[in-house]
Structure 1
């Protein structure tokens, strides 16, 4: 989609070689201008006046204000070495450039930011908005890589000032920036709409699962009170039974650590650790980890409330802090895996957890005794299998719809990136104002 649409946008009449390998040609009338003519370096420390400033951070969403009343992340003991930022200033992270997700921001706020960053005020002869799109584009694919030096991929101020930006006349910069403001806003709006559609489909999926695992598939089935408030009514031939009658904890430990280490993930369940991490753990450090076998149920005690459960498909090892259960032959483990991942079940796990903290955060743990005393719906195993088959069929339809929406979002993001690149490098000619 992106290439087809962009190919229909007019081009400039004549081009010239930029001298930059990855860039190729630029419009004939565009200038190559060193940054020393575009940016003025600022470095005003806030010192003992930090309480007078809002704290700012450079993020993937741009420069944001930090909430000091409800702080997240690490803060220094004092902010004396932080520097002043004014609305309209540029903030660059010129170190660890390759690893840092976003290295440029255009501030809409007055405030202060870490002194490790570099703050510039651009000349009034240039459009701040155009320059932001220009450097956002360079940052997207780390096109400034040839400028890095040292182990920390640092761009010195001298090298940055010597770098030549390729810019059109100011009226054209403004036109391009306004065009991109309008067009990218439309793309972002389309993405938000599709993301909301995905959330609705996920909610629909959860409703289908929750209703099926707590009330069965037959809406005409005679019902009875389960005697458990959170469960409500259940089919007359079902029971409400404590989990300890269905799951028995086992604590077998490895003596060698030679078995495959498995990691428990929200979406994927139990997978080999080396598939999700590039940090190997030696067998010696795995001694005394818990052993698991196919068909057992594994629970992350600290994150049970958000559904971190899994059924191993292979023998292996899991964290000694996890709970491992043998499953009763009267039940289908996958049926209860779906039940454990429902929001209504998560609430019960949260209420039964003990320790420091609240909700699913802090050091709340779901201990075996409390887990075992929770009552759950219990259907005949044949019916459990039928419910699983029905859920799988309905879920596959919803999953396909979700996958299609995610694919559309990826294409929109790709189009946005390509459009910005094409506009700020002169590959297309912006002829309309926003």
Structure 2
């Protein structure tokens, strides 16, 4: 709601120019009458593209000259937390792609095509690989120029000119011939100064909201951990669990092995999904990608179905936990299915066969430090995984069935409330980010006027 109010407030502050003219560029439309239309090549002093260092990633070193790649270039600035480095010798061999402060970087290939930022003065020098070009602009024009490249108008144009090609890519000619609305120098400075102030204010609000989300998610995790391992009654007498790393537990609780109360089994892989596209008298087939790592929700409607008369697939019942056992998502992707499903071999089904164990309680237990400490300590192999043989012997805490149900019901209600709060905050962030993009676009294309 606050983001929406701010959007209306900002738009009300801005007025249109008195007179407009046709820019002569269909996708740009009308611009203020006193503005010129140029092409990017008329506004820059140099353009350059990067190359892959001879020897590829083997030339990377722990310290040296930063080699900027597409994953470092974002519209909100350069991110160097995962930057690679090359030696000064390699850097000197790549003279045509050496950067200077205030160069404008543009990603020209892949999913991040069009992402752009200014190379900051604080970094001094760096080089770029073949997925980036740099545009050198006079310092006093660089801020306006950079904002224009970030505008929705240009981003949509970039998507259109490379659409339909076999590869997501831009070439230098396409970049150089992009139309550029050009106000006089003083007005460019006014526009850049205005947008600096407004986008900084928006970014600050977004950062505060992101911190709120981080807080709520940490609280959610701690709540699950504390409730599942200590129970709802904080006055209950505790006892030594007999396992040093578990510590004290409620006196009437038991420590059991997962295999003593649950059936544990993996699913089946599919080599050709096109053979399983008919949704008639069939089970949904769940792959690892269908589980949201953050919300733990599952996408049942992925277009893959297993006929119920195909007995070669393992099927699990409703109210079963599915957890990923291998790969980057091992131990992190987890869901609770509300129907019978077939599932991929990287997922493991954990389903209670003991009438004194409540499945939803197990779902929350799999999110605790108690489970995670056992799981991640045993990750092994090139792709990282935990075998069924080891998983079966994991220790779990087992209260009375009624208490398990109370814990699960309590956490269902509490986590639903927290998730709703987080979703609301995420909506505010989305609104603010859209406002940021709209504001930049309206100002740099002359749809609204910035006062001095």
Deviation string, structure 1 residues 6-47 (Cα, Å, up to 9, x no partner): 133233232223233444332221111122211234448788
Q: Give the structure 2 partner of residue 372 of structure 1.
A: 392
Is 1:38 the counterpart of 2:43? The answer is: yes
Give, in angstroms, the shift of residue 287 of structure 1: 9.7
Conserved in 2, the CA contact under 8 Å of 1:104 and 1:139? Answer: no
Structure 2 runs not aligned, ≥5 long: 277-282
From 264, 271, 276, give the equivalent of 2:299.
Answer: 271
Following the alignment from structure 1 to structure 2, what is the Cα–Cα distance between the partners of residues 389 and 416? 41
Is 1:319 the counterpart of 2:333? The answer is: no
Deviation string, structure 1 residues 180-215 (Cα, Å, up to 9, x no partner): 112211111111111111111111122221121111
Q: Give the structure 1 partner of residue 402 of structure 2.
A: 382
Q: Give the structure 1 partner of residue 192 of structure 2.
A: 177
TM-score, L = length of structure 1: 0.82
Pairing 1:199-278 to 2, within 5 Å after superposition: 199-250=214-265, 259-264=283-288, 265=291, 266=293, 267-272=295-300, 274=302
Conserved in 2, the CA contact under 8 Å of 1:15 and 1:27? Answer: yes
Following the alignment from structure 2 to structure 1, what is the Cα–Cα distance between the partners of residues 374 and 169? 50
Structure 1 runs not aligned, ≥5 long: 72-77, 357-361
Give, in angstroms, the shift of residue 163 of structure 1: 3.1
Give, in angstroms, the shift of residue 273 of structure 1: 6.5
Give, in angstroms, the shift of residue 422 of structure 1: 1.5
From 19, 23, 32, give the equivalent of 1:27.
Answer: 32
Following the alignment from structure 1 to structure 2, what is the Cα–Cα distance between the partners of residues 50 and 385? 54
Partner SS state of residue 156, structure 2: coil
Give, in angstroms, the shift of residue 145 of structure 1: 4.6
Give, in angstroms, the shift of residue 221 of structure 1: 1.9
Give, in angstroms, the shift of residue 297 of structure 1: 3.3
Q: Give the structure 2 partner of residue 85 of structure 1.
A: 99
Following the alignment from structure 2 to structure 1, what is the Cα–Cα distance between the partners of residues 127 and 386? 42
Following the alignment from structure 1 to structure 2, what is the Cα–Cα distance between the partners of residues 413 and 44? 30
Q: Give the structure 1 partner of residue 319 of structure 2.
A: 295
Following the alignment from structure 2 to structure 1, what is the Cα–Cα distance between the partners of residues 389 and 321? 16
From 392, 398, 412, give the equivalent of 2:432.
Answer: 412
Give, in angstroms, the shift of residue 291 of structure 1: 3.2
Q: Give the structure 2 partner of residue 129 of structure 1.
A: 143
Give, in angstroms, the shift of residue 331 of structure 1: 0.9
TM-score, L = length of structure 2: 0.79
Give, in angstroms, the shift of residue 338 of structure 1: 0.8
Partner SS state of residue 274, structure 1: coil
Provide the alpha-carbon RMSD of the alignment: 3.5
May I ask how many residue pairs the two structures share in their alignment?
A: 410
From 55, 72, 79, give the equivalent of 2:67.
Answer: 55
Are residues 171 and 354 of structure 1, via their aligned partners in 2, closer, same or farther at CA, if it must alter by over 3 Å? closer
Are residues 354 and 120 of structure 1, via their aligned partners in 2, closer, same or farther at CA, if it must alter by over 3 Å? closer
Is 1:342 the counterpart of 2:368? The answer is: yes
From 372, 376, 380, give the equivalent of 1:355.
Answer: 380
Q: Give the structure 1 partner of residue 178 of structure 2.
A: 163
Conserved in 2, the CA contact under 8 Å of 1:242 and 1:374? Answer: yes
Are residues 50 and 121 of structure 1, via their aligned partners in 2, closer, same or farther at CA, if it must alter by over 3 Å? farther
Is 1:67 the counterpart of 2:87? The answer is: no
